[in-house]
């Protein structure tokens, strides 16, 4: 069942453009050139209750604009959005009572007081019953392992400790939807893993998450569905497995042979990533062009395999290629 319905959402900004010279500055006092910037060009998508959605795109693609509209911070130029039965920018007070937000570069905690006092403030703001508040707080403090940190002033916490407390702050009122913008930025490996486990646990309990990030490990380990936005348009909307197959069924192959390897430039479906030695190479194999069994037989018959390992392509390379391809399409 869809908890979020977005239809033809558009956002256009008006800005001014002038040159850098003194004369350009004087001219701009009289007449300034108005430039229209289309941040969103009519995006549409639905999100089901309990879904974990990754919203990806290069810088300036429209991700943050989309998130700000969905949280009720921005008004769209046109289009429709219905989330939990509300239009976010119309009945914002009632709407925000059912959502949470964690922004990796902006804090909800008050700097000079302990997180525990900030949690108490949120309890009062959201009118959370005391017993329910204590139960939720106790469960999340235990899950995130921050029992020894919530009584220290926020300014004394490490980035990882503070981000864990940010999640508690956002989740105390039991929101149905949580928007995450770069939630693990700057964190070490251990802190990232703990926060990912927390997000997945909350998702298993029914919370819907919308995640925007440049950390593709976050997406690969948490999101089951991915929407890629580029130049204000949706260029991809499907699950993670389909994303990896977007440019064909590819495999990363590391092989070693007893005889010197051939010039792969003449072999269809094989792309050299790294020629380590004449006998050892890292390749990318498109099995839609050259079948895996055929490739292995060819290498073994002609060059005698000593070793061969295979793995799927890294999500980073797939996303990069998707960005490049869609940019070329836009230019055309």
Complete domains list, the chain, with CATH: 2-244 (3.40.50.300), 250-331 (3.30.70)
Per DSSP, the three-state class of 53 is strand
Question: Who contacts 60 (Cβ-Cβ below 8 Å, separation ≥6)?
Answer: none
**Residue 255 pLDDT level (bands cut at 50, 70, 90):** very high
Per DSSP, the three-state class of 96 is helix
How big is the CA angle at 143 (ends 161 and 67), to the nearest 5 degrees? 65
Q: Residues 131-188: pLDDT tens digits? A: 999 999 999 999 999 998 999 999 999 988 999 999 999 999 999 999 998 888 888 8
Give the Cα separation of 221 and 249 in Å (integer).
21
| Percent above pLDDT 90 for the chain | 55
Q: Residues 272-317: pLDDT tens digits? A: 989 999 999 999 888 888 888 999 999 999 999 999 998 776 666 6
Q: Residues 108-138: pLDDT tens digits? A: 899 999 999 999 999 999 999 999 999 999 9
Q: Mean pLDDT throughout 36-58?
A: 92
Token pair 């329910």 in the structure block, residue: 132
| Bridge partners of residue 251, in order along the sequence | 285
Q: What is the pTM of this model?
A: 0.77
């Amino acid at each position: 069942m869809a908890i979020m319905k977005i239809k033809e959402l558009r956002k256009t900004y008006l800005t001014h453009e002038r040159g850098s010279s003194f004369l350009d500055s004087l001219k701009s006092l009289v007449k300034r050139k108005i430039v229209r910037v289309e941040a969103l060009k009519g995006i549409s998508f639905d999100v089901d209750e309990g879904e974990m959605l990754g919203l990806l795109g290069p810088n300036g693609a429209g991700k943050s604009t989309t998130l700000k509209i969905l949280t009720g911070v921005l008004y769209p130029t046109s289009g429709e959005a219905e989330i939990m039965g509300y239009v976010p920018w119309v009945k914002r007070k009632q709407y925000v009572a059912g959502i949470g937000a964690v922004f990796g570069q902006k804090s909800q905690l008050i700097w000079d007081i302990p997180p525990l006092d900030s949690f108490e403030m949120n309890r009062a703001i959201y009118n959370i019953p005391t017993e329910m508040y204590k139960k939720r707080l106790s469960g999340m403090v235990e899950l995130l392992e921050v029992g020894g940190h919530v009584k220290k002033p926020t300014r004394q916490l490490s980035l990882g400790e503070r981000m864990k407390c940010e999640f508690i702050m956002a989740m105390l009122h039991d929101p149905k939807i949580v928007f995450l913008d770069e939630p693990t930025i700057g964190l070490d490996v251990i802190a990232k893993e703990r926060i990912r486990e927390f997000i997945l646990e909350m998702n298993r309990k029914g919370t819907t998450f919308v995640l925007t990030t440049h950390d593709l490990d976050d997406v690969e380990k948490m999101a089951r569905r991915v929407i890629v936005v580029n130049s204000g348009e949706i260029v991809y909307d499907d699950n993670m497995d389909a994303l990896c197959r977007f440019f064909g069924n590819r495999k990363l192959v590391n092989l070693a042979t007893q005889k010197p390897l051939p010039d792969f430039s003449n072999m269809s479906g094989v792309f050299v990533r790294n020629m380590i030695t004449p006998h050892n190479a890292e390749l990318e194999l498109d099995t839609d062009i050259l079948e895996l069994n055929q490739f292995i037989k060819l290498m073994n018959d002609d060059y005698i395999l000593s070793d061969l390992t295979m793995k799927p392509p890294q999500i980073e390379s797939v996303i990069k290629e998707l960005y490049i391809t869609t940019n070329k399409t836009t230019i055309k």
